[in-house]
């Protein structure tokens, strides 16, 4: 005969299993509600705090997510579990990278490394922590160092059979090859990573970043066929998670860009407005500025100059400089003196060739029409560094 305490214990175990099933089923609101209720009865284990924090992040409550991850970090450290503490610190670092708080992110990554100094020599957490190292080297133009680090990520993933590390490592290596002018090899790896993503269950935060980064890479190459295919896959992934907030903004931007290319300009504007709302909801102001800028581009191309100017102004309020569209608007409205200086500033502030390639065609057009071509030829020289954007991809 079971006692009342035994019956309660069985109920808690069953409820915890339901919460974990909700997590695996990508039901983020249900996951949060179930784990919150269980936490009222007894403090959750670290892995369940990570699940709860992830669910909060994916339903748009970034601050609650960070509180839960920090609680998990402190709990793991108190339990002298260096691997679990490093996991929490890594995800806290990733959360701050996504909002552009790179100093805070670096602090959490450093803390993760300190925990692993007391951990096993070979564990999956070491592979996760190599990811920001690889990307920092890539952004700094150290392509050889980046490749060495990302190969280690993949090796750790293979040894421990961790899909996160296998897929993300393959993806980053693909983008690295693109920046080394191995277009065919890079695209092969990107496609390979995407098929791995579709056939494996990645941590949702990394899955969303790989989806968005793949679409961006194909846009950089002008490979519209791949852009359409992987945007469709991203749309389906988002639709499978009704509670999802991050990545839906970027999904809307990509949909809007394709609609604009197909001439569905009203629909494109609606998508850009949706993207802006989602970005503001998760506290990603620069990404919201990008969405407003894209809407401004549609208005400019339609000759709706006042509406375009309004969008560019709002984009500037969110930290986006509005170029090259603002300069092309100035040219179209007869304000030639204002066109070139803004583009020159945008080029001077560019951090890599990807950004430059978005601006240089406008520079050539404005300089040709204003007779200033000789003055801007120096800007055709490439900058060092790839301008890689994987972990800065806005949610």
Percent of the chain with pLDDT over 70: 90
* Per-residue pLDDT at 355: 65
Cβ atoms of 106 and 136 closer than 8 Å: no
Percent of the chain with pLDDT over 90: 67
Q: What is the 3-state secondary structure (H, E, C) of the chain?
A: CCCHHHHHHHHHHHHHHHHHHHHHCCCHHHHHHHHHHHHHHCCCCHHHHHHHHHHHHHCCCHHHHHHHHHHHHHHHHHCCCHHHHHHHHHHHHHHHHHCCCHHHHHHHHHHHHHHHCCCCCCCHHHHHHHHHHHHHHHHCCCHHHHHHHHHHHHHHHHHHCCHHHHHHHHHHHHHHHHHCCCHHHHHHHHHHHHHHHHHCCCCHHHHHHHHHHHHHHHHHHCCHHHHHHHHHHHHHHHHCCCCCCCCHHHHHHHHHHHHHHCCCHHHHHHHHHHHHHHHHHCCCHHHHHHHHHHHHHHHHHCCCHHHHHHHHHHHHHCCCCCCCHHHHHHHHCCCHHHHHHHHHHHHHCCCCHHHHHHHHHHHHHHHHHHCCCHHHHHHHCCCCCCCCCCCCCCC
| Average confidence (pLDDT) over 125-145 | 90
* Per-residue pLDDT at 386: 47
Of the pLDDT bands very low, low, confident and very high (cuts 50, 70, 90), residue 378 is low
Is the pLDDT at 347 greater than 80? The verdict is no
Is the pLDDT at 316 greater than 60? The verdict is yes
* Per-residue pLDDT at 1: 39
Q: State the chain's mean pLDDT as an integer.
A: 88
| Average confidence (pLDDT) over 37-63 | 96
Separation between Cα atoms, residue 109 and residue 124, nearest integer Å: 15
* Per-residue pLDDT at 126: 97
Is the pLDDT at 30 greater than 60? The verdict is yes
Residue 143 tokens, joined: 């392509």
Of the pLDDT bands very low, low, confident and very high (cuts 50, 70, 90), residue 384 is very low
Is the pLDDT at 8 greater than 60? The verdict is no
Instruction: Give the pLDDT confidence of 76-90 residue by residue, as tens digits.
Output: 999 999 999 999 999
* Per-residue pLDDT at 58: 96
Highest mean pLDDT among 97-101, 108-112, 131-135, 335-339: 108-112
| Average confidence (pLDDT) over 196-219 | 92
| Average confidence (pLDDT) over 352-381 | 71
Mention every residue, 6+ apart, whose C-beta is less than 8 A from residue 353.
382, 383, 385, 386, 387
pTM assigned to the model: 0.84
Of the pLDDT bands very low, low, confident and very high (cuts 50, 70, 90), residue 95 is very high
Q: Tell me which of 29-38, 53-62, 166-175, 326-335 is least confident.
A: 326-335
| Average confidence (pLDDT) over 221-239 | 93
* Per-residue pLDDT at 376: 61
Is the pLDDT at 280 greater than 90? The verdict is no
């Amino acid at each position: 005969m079971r006692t009342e305490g035994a019956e309660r214990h069985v109920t808690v175990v069953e409820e915890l299993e339901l919460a974990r099933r909700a997590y695996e089923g990508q039901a983020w609101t249900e996951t949060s509600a179930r784990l919150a209720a269980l936490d009222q009865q007894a403090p959750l284990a670290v892995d369940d705090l990570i699940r709860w924090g992830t669910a909060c992040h994916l339903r748009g409550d970034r601050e609650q997510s960070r509180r839960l991850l920090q609680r998990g970090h402190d709990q793991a450290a108190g339990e002298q579990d260096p691997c679990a503490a490093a996991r929490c610190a890594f995800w806290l670092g990733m959360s701050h990278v996504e909002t552009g708080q790179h100093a805070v992110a670096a602090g959490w990554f450093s803390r993760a490394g300190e925990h692993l100094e007391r951990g096993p020599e070979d564990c999956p957490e070491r592979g996760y922590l190599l990811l920001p190292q690889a990307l920092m080297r890539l952004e700094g133009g150290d392509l050889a160092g980046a490749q060495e680090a990302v190969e280690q990520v993949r090796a750790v993933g293979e040894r421990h059979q961790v899909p996160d590390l296998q897929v993300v490592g393959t993806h980053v290596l693909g983008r690295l090859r693109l920046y080394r002018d191995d277009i065919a090899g890079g695209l092969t790896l990107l496609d390979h990573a995407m098929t791995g993503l579709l056939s494996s269950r990645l941590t949702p935060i990394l899955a969303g970043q790989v989806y968005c980064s793949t679409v961006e890479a194909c846009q950089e190459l002008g490979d519209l066929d791949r852009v359409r295919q992987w945007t469709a896959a991203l749309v389906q992934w988002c639709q499978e998670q009704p509670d999802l907030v991050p990545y839906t903004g970027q999904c809307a931007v990509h949909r809007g860009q394709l609609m604009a290319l197909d001439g569905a300009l009203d629909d494109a504007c609606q998508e850009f407005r949706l993207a802006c709302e989602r970005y503001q909801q998760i506290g990603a102001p620069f990404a919201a500025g990008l969405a407003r800028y894209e809407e401004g581009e549609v208005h400019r191309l339609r000759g709706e100059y006042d509406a375009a100017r309004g969008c560019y102004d709002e984009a500037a309020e969110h930290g986006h400089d509005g170029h090259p569209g603002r300069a092309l608007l100035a040219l179209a409205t007869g304000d030639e003196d204002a066109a070139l200086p803004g583009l020159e500033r945008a080029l001077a502030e560019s951090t890599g060739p990807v950004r430059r390639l978005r601006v240089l065609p406008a520079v050539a057009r404005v300089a040709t029409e204003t007779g200033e071509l000789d003055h801007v030829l120096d800007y055709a020289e490439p900058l060092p560094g790839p301008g890689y954007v994987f972990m800065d991809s806005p949610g």
